[in-house]
Structure 1
Amino acid sequence: MKRLILAVLAALLLSLPIPSAAVQPDEVLADPALEERARDLSKGLRCLVCRNESIDDSNADLARDLRLLVRERLVAGDSNDEVIEFVVDRYGEFVLLKPTTTGANWLLWAAGPLMLLLGGTMGLVYLRGRSRAPSKAEADLTQEEQDRLKRILDD
């Protein structure tokens, strides 16, 4: 029974995700400060193959190339912003896991709330117009019948 429990625990431990397991030992920089900066930058860049995974977590070849590119730029003396700008210029804003809200992206960020407001306004206008419209039964009545109905309802 103890062996079974140990086997299950070992399987569970092996199945847990290991942070930054995708980074290969040959990619790690000798300078710990630069390596830390590279890891921080890599966590904010999207793997273009895996889509919603950072290049730091992805095992794809393109993610490895991007990790190496980030490290090369840092070794060359670029600041964090310059590295991000270089990668975005090369691959487009899609490479950012957290897109900016500048330029044309503000429309994408605002589209959801704007559509909700537009839909709500259209619904209210429709319901108000419908409540004010005469019912079909009243529209078919003659003026004399409408007056009589009004007297009956007022009593």
Structure 2
Amino acid sequence: MLAAVSAHAEPVGDPTPPQFTSTTEEARFHALTGELRCVMCQNQSLADSNAQIAQDMRREVLELMRQGKSDAEIKQFLVDRYGEFVLYRPKMGSRTWLLWFGPGLVLLGGAALVWHIVRRRATVPARDGANAGKDDTDDQGEQEW
């Protein structure tokens, strides 16, 4: 049983970390992988994920960098392969406008609701002086709840 479980276990870290040719290449690699999302982990960047697919994607990013591709070309390659989800900051478009403007619309809607409630309460008539000293009781002397 233990042999079967250990046969399917994934390594915790990348067994062959990338070898960089310069500090500039390393800095660019870390900046780029920090902007990309692991498609398996979903809330981890490509740089932080230990998933096997993240390791493969990091190797692919480094290979594309060494082929002379720009950051935009590398991102587009990954979007073509994995979809817009791989980007933490998706492009503004007809399919993503709600991601960009949704929080602002919710905030404006909440502000309008608060304004409406405050304005409505301000127009509620105050109790007249005859009933000001009495508590809320009906004609039979029982208290209203």
Distance 1:30 1:114, change over 3 A: closer
RMSD: 2.8
1: CA distance, partners of 2:116 / 2:27: 56
TM-score, normalisation: structure 2? 0.62
User: What count of residue pairs does the alignment treat as equivalent?
Assistant: 115
What is the CA deviation profile of residues 24-63 of structure 1, one whole-angstrom value per residue up to 9, with x for unaligned ones? Answer: 43x4135224344222211211112222222222211110
| Contact 1:23–1:57 (Cα < 8 Å) also in 2 | no
User: Does 1:69 pair with 2:60?
Assistant: yes
**% same residue:** 37
Shift of residue 88, structure 1, vs aligned partner: 1.5
User: Mapping of 1:2-151 within 5 angstroms?
Assistant: 22-25=13-16, 27-32=17-22, 33-97=24-88, 99-100=89-90, 102-103=92-93, 104-129=95-120, 131-132=122-123
What is the CA deviation profile of residues 58-104 of structure 1, one whole-angstrom value per residue up to 9, with x for unaligned ones? Answer: 2111101101111121222211221111112211221123x145224
| Structure 2 counterpart of 1:72, one-letter code | E
Shift of residue 123, structure 1, vs aligned partner: 3.4
TM-score, normalisation: structure 1? 0.59
2: CA distance, partners of 1:38 / 1:24: 18
Question: What is the DSSP-based 3-state SS (H/G/I as helix, E as strand, rest coil) of the residue aligned with 2:47?
Answer: coil
| Structure 1 counterpart of 2:82, one-letter code | Y
| Contact 1:70–1:83 (Cα < 8 Å) also in 2 | yes
**Structure 2 residue runs without a partner (length 5+):** 1-11, 129-145
Aligned position for 2:3: none
**Structure 1 residue runs without a partner (length 5+):** 1-20, 139-155
Distance 1:40 1:116, change over 3 A: closer
1: CA distance, partners of 2:20 / 2:119: 70
Q: Which has the higher helix share?
A: 1
| Contact 1:28–1:35 (Cα < 8 Å) also in 2 | no
